[in-house]
Amino acid sequence: MRNHLDRHLTAVRNLGILAHVDAGKTTVTERILYATGTTHKRGEVHDGTTITDFDPQERDRGITIFAAAVSCDWDGHRVNLIDTPGHVDFADEVERALRVLDGAVAVFDAVAGVEPQSESVWRQADRHGVPRIAFVNKLDRAGADLDTAVASIRDRLHPVPLVVQLPIGTEDAFTGVVDLLHMRALTWGEDSDTLVEGAVPQELREEALRRRRLLEEAVAERHPAALEEFCDRETVSAETLAAALRDLTRTGDGVVVLCGSAYRNRGIEPLLDAVVAYLPSPLDVPAVRGTHEGAEQERAADPAAPSVALAFKVSATATGRLTYLRVYSGTIEKGDTLWESGSRRTERIGRILRVQADRHAQLDRAVAGDIVAVVGLKAARAGSTLCAPQAPLVLEPPGVPDPVVSVAVEACRGTDTDRLASALARLAEEDPSLVVRTDPETGQTLLSGMGELHLEVAVEKIRRTLGLDVNVGRPRVTYRETVGRGVTGQVFRHVKQDGGAGQFAHVVLDVEALEEGFEFRSAVVGGRVPQEYVRAVEAGCRDALAEGPLGGHPVTGLRVTLTDGATHVKDSSETAFRTAGRFGLREALRACAMVLLEPVVEVAVTVPEEAVGSVLGDLAARRGRVTDSAVRGGSAVVTATVPLAELFGYATRLRSRTQGRGTFTARPTGYAPAPAVPATT
């Protein structure tokens, strides 16, 4: 039984498809489903017939908005695959997917190479330690070049690319690849459905041998077994190369690079072989780590161990509320009762589903290594841990980014106000990067998210699913406040006496600027403030960060030091010191020199060369700072850093300046000082 379970885990691959928007992620996913026999017709993004982009908005806009999970079988392996969004506004979907994946395929455009969002998702995968292989797509396009794309991967992402294929033909004449490990040609016929294996074409043999030698040398430099064989025989066998590539991929010391054209269905079968050969199974990744009562614990990928799973996505469907789980340990069966970390209560599993995007197949159980959806959970949210009640464990949830854009929303009819409030609450439950709050000054309901498109999609979802008429205000960016010059020795005394038990707390705070984030420390000596009160002061200071003195914006970039304090024998309490920390820091911030920060994004604008001058002038007028300019495939690509507030409506403006030929992408780069306090604050 034990060996059977291990074989099951070894044959599972949990991977995501990552890329910049329009690099071909969804097309790669569709071709994988077709090649594995999961679907019998190739879905097309431009026709709105894809399996994973099943939401009406995805099909209307031609982009992936929501991460979609699908499962397929290849060469005796179960492949659980998540197609992630490429647009920066939906980066949180990528973040939550990466949290539960064991590997990933990064897709790059053979003409554009590494694009801004390619870099962002690559860094996200770095943070999660997710092994990757690279697939250079669209080799059939004019201007496509594998070597140029690989050079951009090396220069911008800094991995060691290990290219294992050589294209046969260029642009329209691209018909297949040379497999450098086994020195064979893989070609696809006119219908692109039939893979033909043959000898390397004579005209490519010398180049293939040269590249095979470069691959052997690169692998031998980084892998002991390959180096030993290379030194003994002056060559490395295909078997040793494959084993070395698997090790280098899983340690992150190298990235295997393959190529093809997903649209023409060329290169998908070798990509699936590489997924099985090089990316890790659940048994190959470290045991998941969590905490229980402050102590850290590990839970191995063992179906016989106590159950633990992480919820990474919640979706409301016509058939009920779906909660997507990655099962890390144990076995979950239909009808089981599990402990939910967020609500600290038990939840019952009603049904377990194998997900095929918007289609589902019922399962009796899910075991360690599986990615499934379950029905019946009421309180679980994205980031919740579900575990066996007798063996509780809390896993670290995926990080949630702070929203950067807000819009005011209201129902057109007063009778729909309650329905709108319920719809907004459900949206925030499904997507943690959406925040709903009430403006304390105007009383308006504000919906905050990661960008204009993010908010447009959310509002349109309310209109379509509920038929609600909604008024939406103009977008506003979310500002931050930080300390430009701090203060020392700020004294605050909290004294309250109303007949019963009193409250007394005395604190002395120093505030200084910090590059980012918030840091609290205590320099109190002699026990003048007990440790439990020090923690209460820190909690109060964190409460005060919610609203700064300039305009009520969140405060960041400061260090607070508790230097002194005093207590009362009867009236001091944690509540009193928390209150003192909150109001003491608020007073200290009013005494500091504060700086308003605005969100800044890196914009990559692609335009015809003759329109560059006009675009540069427009970026300058938007307070943009150009950082790079290059020519790719006959078009100019201008990279600039621009305040997000200046980009509202930029897509329309760019199209009018370039006769509809210009496009741009943007990715957040942080915050920078704003020129003045905006009138809207």
Q: Is 41 annotated as contributing to ligand binding?
A: no
Q: Is 22 annotated as contributing to ligand binding?
A: yes
Q: Are 464 and 456 in contact (CB under 8 A)?
A: no
- Measure the CA–CA gap between 479 and 641, rounded to whole angstroms: 17
Q: Is 334 annotated as contributing to ligand binding?
A: no
- Strands 635-643, 593-608: pairing is antiparallel
Q: Is 428 annotated as contributing to ligand binding?
A: no
HSE (side-chain half, CA atoms, 13 Å) at 581: 27
76 C-beta neighbours (distance < 10 Å), count: 8
Q: Is 23 annotated as contributing to ligand binding?
A: yes
Q: Are 327 and 367 in contact (CB under 8 A)?
A: yes
Q: Is 85 annotated as contributing to ligand binding?
A: yes
Q: Is 46 annotated as contributing to ligand binding?
A: no
Q: Is 84 annotated as contributing to ligand binding?
A: yes
Q: Is 87 annotated as contributing to ligand binding?
A: yes
Task: For the sheet with 385-387, list strands across it.
Answer: 345-348, 337-340, 385-387, 308-317, 320-329, 371-375, 351-356, 359-363
Tell me the two tokens of residue 164: 């294992």
Cβ neighbours of residue 397 closer than 8 Å, sequence gap 6 or more: 99, 310, 382, 383, 384, 385
Burial code of 579-610, b = ≥16 C-beta within 10 A, e = fewer? bbbbbbbbebbeebebbbbbbbbbbbbbbeee
- Measure the CA–CA gap between 349 and 493, rounded to whole angstroms: 52
Q: Is 25 annotated as contributing to ligand binding?
A: yes
HSE (side-chain half, CA atoms, 13 Å) at 70: 27
DSSP assignment string, 476-501:
EE--EEEEEE-EEEEEEEEEE-SSSS
Q: Is 139 annotated as contributing to ligand binding?
A: yes
Tokens 């980084």 belong to: 222
Q: Is 24 annotated as contributing to ligand binding?
A: yes
Q: Is 83 annotated as contributing to ligand binding?
A: yes
Q: Is 14 annotated as contributing to ligand binding?
A: no
Q: Are 278 and 246 in contact (CB under 8 A)?
A: yes
- Measure the CA–CA gap between 579 and 328, rounded to whole angstroms: 41
For 60-97, the three-class secondary structure string (H helix, E strand, C coil) is: HHCCCCCCEEEEEEECCEEEEEEECCCCHHHHHHHHHH
Q: Is 411 annotated as contributing to ligand binding?
A: no
Q: Which residues are annotated as a binding site?
A: 19-26, 83-87, 137-140
Q: Which residues are annotated as a binding site for GTP?
A: 19-26, 83-87, 137-140
